[in-house]
Amino acid sequence: MVSSRFLQDKSTSLKKELQFLKKIKTEEKYFLKKSKDTIAKRTNQMKETKNQAFDTVSLWGLYGRDDMKAFKSVTLPLFMSTTGGPFDSLVDGSLLLSYKTIDDPNKAYTRIDNQNPDHLAMKIAALEGLGVPQLTQGICTSSGMSAIMMATMPFLQSGDNFVSSNRVYGGTQQLYDVTYPKSGWQVRWIDKPWILSSWEKRIDKKTKFLFVESPSNPTLYIADLEALSKLAHKYNLPLIVDSTLASPALTRPFEYGADIVVHSISKIANGSCRAIGGALISLDKITTNIKSLRENFANQVKGGHFRNMGPCLSPFNAQIIWDELITLRLRVKQVSENAMNIAKYLEKHPKIEKVNYPGLISHPQHKIAKRLMKLPDGTNAYGHLLSFNIKGGLEKAKKFAENLDFGVQVTHLGGSYTVWVHNATTTHGQMTHDERKAAGIADNLIRYSVGLEGVTDAISALEKALNKV
């Protein structure tokens, strides 16, 4: 009598397990081997994503049939617990808490690992790794700022420096200018980051990495990632890219030589605006003059600074964002189309001094954006964010802000809803006037994050507000 496929598979699995148990002499070797097998399984799954479409990876990530069977759920369940399941034995617990088997989130303390942030990190790492042969790895953090901190501080000792574009989010500027100097870490700002030689002039023997935000918030500077990565690698330094505004649906920096990518996944990755989170993604091997960090960077951070400082992502937030990534490409495509229409409208308006949007031919880095910013099918798209200057200075910008009744005036961006803000008095208000001027943030600048609403409604509201300026 021929047995069923299920029974054959079950029999084969039990035989392999029995053979394995006969060979293993100690509990420690048993758990270390199981851990090694888990790592090999996830590595193979990550390799398989290289041959998958973007939408397939954004839907499933690394959540496969074995996970479905184990968790009895077609979709990733929510693991709302401070700690995973019980240790199988005293030896199991000892190995786990000495971080020799940290790869198993089923049993770890949630500050260190949990199924939800673990699967979210693997999904984002897989998306960022599409298009390159190298494997990627990642960790999720409590916010975009904590992701930047986790990505940068492992390289720094007192007296070290790093070189960064000054076209960065206000919180990043404060982290680098106010917080880091207390540890003896110095940022060397580049006021004109499009001039490559200005970066090279600031590099010395104490420089540990180059950092760039591209596209930048709120002026939409687009970095030539290929040129920057070549420069960084010339000096054996990693290039760290904050790719929040693009998301992997538009730009995957590893394709252009980056070593580490960070995201605020509170933004376009999470259209519902219901969760805060961050992500650090690295290649499995990075360029750096610090030998101990060249391999397994993200996982090293996870077992080191991340464990010690505790900027963990809530499982609930992780699950929201994991689900939101399913529609990432669709949302990015639509908001990009809306943003292009709005940018073209504003560029022609007599009361607008300037429009910053990489999709416009007038944008100073439009050619670079055209090369870097593409949907997975190869079609150019330029994202949800634009900014524009109102003619007449600060007072006219304020009057515009008082009269725009579309969307929400709030310090956020990238959601499915239109949001806008006056940067000089909000997101970059902590910077001095001179610092804002150097970063291209004028007093009459409005940042406008385009949503999924009808574009004709958005343009009608903009026209109404501009008529009152």
Nearest alpha-carbon partner for 76 in 126, 135, 121:
121
Q: Where are the beta strands (DSSP E) in 45-166?
A: 136-141, 161-165
| Amino acid occupying residue 170 | G
With beta carbons less than 8 A apart as the criterion, state whether 458 and 338 touch. yes
Q: Residue-wise over 105-133: b if at least 16 C-beta within 10 A, else e?
A: bebbbbebbbbbbbbbbbbbbbbbbbebe
Q: Which two tokens stand for residue 76?
A: 């990733």
The terminus-to-terminus CA distance of the chain in angstroms comes to: 85
| Amino acid occupying residue 400 | F
With beta carbons less than 8 A apart as the criterion, state whether 253 and 261 touch. yes
User: What is the phi/psi pair of residue 411, to 5°?
Assistant: -85, 75
CA distance 260 to 256: 11
| Amino acid occupying residue 2 | V
With beta carbons less than 8 A apart as the criterion, state whether 287 and 237 touch. yes
Residue by residue, pLDDT tens for the chain (469 residues) are: 557 988 888 888 899 889 988 888 899 999 999 889 888 999 999 999 999 999 999 999 999 999 999 899 999 999 999 988 788 999 998 898 888 886 666 678 899 889 999 999 999 999 999 999 999 999 999 999 999 999 999 999 999 999 999 999 989 999 999 999 999 999 999 999 999 999 999 999 999 999 999 999 999 999 999 999 999 999 999 999 999 999 999 999 999 999 999 999 999 999 999 999 999 999 999 999 999 999 999 999 998 999 999 999 999 999 999 999 999 999 999 999 999 999 999 999 999 999 999 999 999 999 999 999 999 999 999 999 999 999 999 999 999 999 999 999 998 999 999 999 998 888 777 788 888 888 888 999 999 999 999 999 999 999 999 999 9
Nearest alpha-carbon partner for 423 in 413, 336, 415, 358:
413
Q: Which two tokens stand for residue 358?
A: 């990489």
CA distance 209 to 289: 9
User: What is the phi/psi pair of residue 206, to 5°?
Assistant: -95, 0
Nearest alpha-carbon partner for 455 in 386, 402, 364, 393:
386
pLDDT at 173: 94
pLDDT at 439: 83
Q: CATH: 3.40.640.10, 3.80.10.10, 1.10.3720.10, 1.10.10.10. Which one for 42-326?
A: 3.40.640.10
Find the angle CA(259)-CA(260)-CA(262) to the nearest 5 degrees: 155
pLDDT at 25: 87
Superfamily of domain 329-467: Aspartate Aminotransferase, domain 1 (3.90.1150.10)
Sign of the alpha-carbon dihedral angle for 387, 392, 397, 403: negative
With beta carbons less than 8 A apart as the criterion, state whether 311 and 150 touch. yes
Query: Whole-model pTM?
Result: 0.95
With beta carbons less than 8 A apart as the criterion, state whether 80 and 316 touch. yes
Beta carbons within 8 Å of 40's beta carbon, 6+ residues apart: none
Nearest alpha-carbon partner for 403 in 450, 461, 343:
461
Q: Where are the domains of the chain?
A: 42-326, 329-467
Most distant pair of Cα atoms in the chain: their distance:
88
Nearest alpha-carbon partner for 278 in 114, 112, 421, 138:
138
Nearest alpha-carbon partner for 261 in 366, 154, 137:
137
- 226 CB burial (10 A radius; 0-12, 13-18, 19+): middle
Nearest alpha-carbon partner for 266 in 118, 143, 151:
143
Q: Which two tokens stand for residue 459?
A: 């343009």
